């Protein structure tokens, strides 16, 4: 059995049922269905933010995948219940797909902005906490292979920061 056949069998049984939407409707951001990630406030350390997921991939990428699933479900439901003329079925399917396309396009723009903001905040927070040059941090980040937490630990080790000494007891 080839990899393509295995993938097709897996894809036929895969059901990425998204979580229920917990967000109330917002007419200004109607394309977002789910609550955004709550970032830690600025005074927190870089490591705490990394463990909280503040620098991870944007959740909008997952929402785009959910929209593909929702679109497929809506089109299948429409095809199963359509009773109109055969000539109009493509036009009605296109109206359904058009809404999902607009939603995915806006989510993609949000994901790209969010991804850039997360990386910028990582570099700025590391510069603020450990010192150094932001360009140097970027260069090391893009050449590093590992998780963000591992990168923070590795960069901290290269900075050779003084370790705090315990307070002597009198």
DSSP 115-135: HHHHHHHHHHHHHHHH-S-HH
Least confident of 15-24, 46-55, 107-116, 120-129: 15-24
More confident position, 164 or 136: 136
Cα separation, 20 vs 136, in Å, equals 42
pTM of the model: 0.71
The 10s digit of each residue's pLDDT in 38-76 is 788 888 889 999 998 889 888 888 888 888 888 998 899
Q: How many CB atoms lie within 10 A of CB 1?
A: 6
Percentage of the chain lying above the pLDDT 90 cut: 28
Residue ranges per domain, the chain? 41-159
Among candidate residues 135, 139, 120, the one with its CA nearest the CA of residue 55: 120
Cα separation, 151 vs 53, in Å, equals 14
């Amino acid at each position: 059995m080839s990899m393509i056949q295995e993938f097709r069998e897996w894809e036929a049984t895969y059901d990425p049922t998204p979580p229920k939407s917990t967000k109330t409707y917002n007419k200004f951001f109607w394309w977002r269905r789910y609550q955004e990630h709550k970032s830690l406030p600025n005074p927190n350390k870089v490591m705490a933010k990394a463990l909280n997921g503040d620098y991870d991939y944007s959740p909008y990428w997952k929402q785009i995948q959910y929209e593909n699933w929702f679109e497929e479900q809506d089109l299948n439901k429409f095809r199963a219940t359509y009773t109109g003329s055969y000539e109009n079925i493509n036009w009605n399917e296109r109206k359904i797909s058009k809404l999902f396309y607009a939603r995915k396009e806006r989510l993609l723009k949000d994901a790209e902005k969010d991804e850039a903001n997360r990386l910028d905040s990582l570099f700025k927070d590391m510069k603020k906490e450990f010192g150094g040059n932001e360009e140097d941090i970027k260069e090391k980040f893009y050449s590093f292979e590992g998780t963000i937490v591992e990168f923070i630990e590795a960069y901290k080790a290269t900075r050779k920061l003084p370790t705090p000494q315990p307070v002597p007891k009198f």
